[in-house]
Amino acid sequence: MHALPYPRTTSPTPNSVTRPGWMRRQPPRAKGSGRLCLILFAGLIAAGTASSAALLPVTLAWDSPSWVVEGYTIHYGTTSRLYTKETEVGNVTTAVLNGLVEGTRYYVAVTAYGEDGSQSEFSNEIQFVLGLPILRIESTPDNQIVVTVKGKPGESYAIEATQSFLDWSVIGTASLDANGFMNHLDDQSTLHPNRFYRARPLVP
């Protein structure tokens, strides 16, 4: 997935979340089961809200652990570490979360599960408010990546890229034009087999 990312926040404490009617989740019985790293990969990021509510999708991405995974479950809600909804997405490392309300703050984490049904600890938790800006990724005929940001005219953003979700590098900065758009060509994208992106607001 093209990383239309977004900022990651602090991680929940492993296996420490208590929810009414929920069993405490235990890590799969497999060697080398590390914590998953979750990012807001595409869609709308936490930078402003809209005046009218609308149902919107966001795209999430996470890394895969070292053990054999049967599938993943996305957990989300409107309170930190208290996830009231969940959706199973199968054995993939990107997924679209649909039906989210614009202007609402969401908290999201992901778990992996094995063939025996056992589940990993929760990934780091991310939070976001659906609204502008919107990040879009397109590929040119020569396989370079163009990152387009749409938001409020005049606002400035840093475009950041990563290969690992751990270290982000600024690859460009710009202000949105009078129509609320900016484009950035990543001429280094062909040097990386996987490359993910996010837009970070620049505070004056």
Report pLDDT digits (tens) over 180-203: 889 999 988 888 888 888 888 786
Q: Residue 145: helix, strand or coil by DSSP? A: strand
User: What is the average per-residue pLDDT within 32-56?
Assistant: 44
pLDDT tens digits, one per residue of 66-105: 889 999 999 999 999 999 999 999 999 989 888 888 778 8
Residues 6+ apart with CB under 8 A from 148: 135, 136, 137, 138, 181, 182, 183, 184
pLDDT digits (tens, 9 = 90+) for 127-138: 877 766 778 888
65 within 8 A of 32, measured Cβ to Cβ: yes
pLDDT of residue 38: 66
- Which pLDDT does position 39 carry in this prediction? 60
User: What pTM was computed for the model?
Assistant: 0.52
CA distance 174 to 125: 29
87, 72 contact by CB (below 8 A): no
Confidence of residue 1 (pLDDT cuts 50, 70, 90): very low
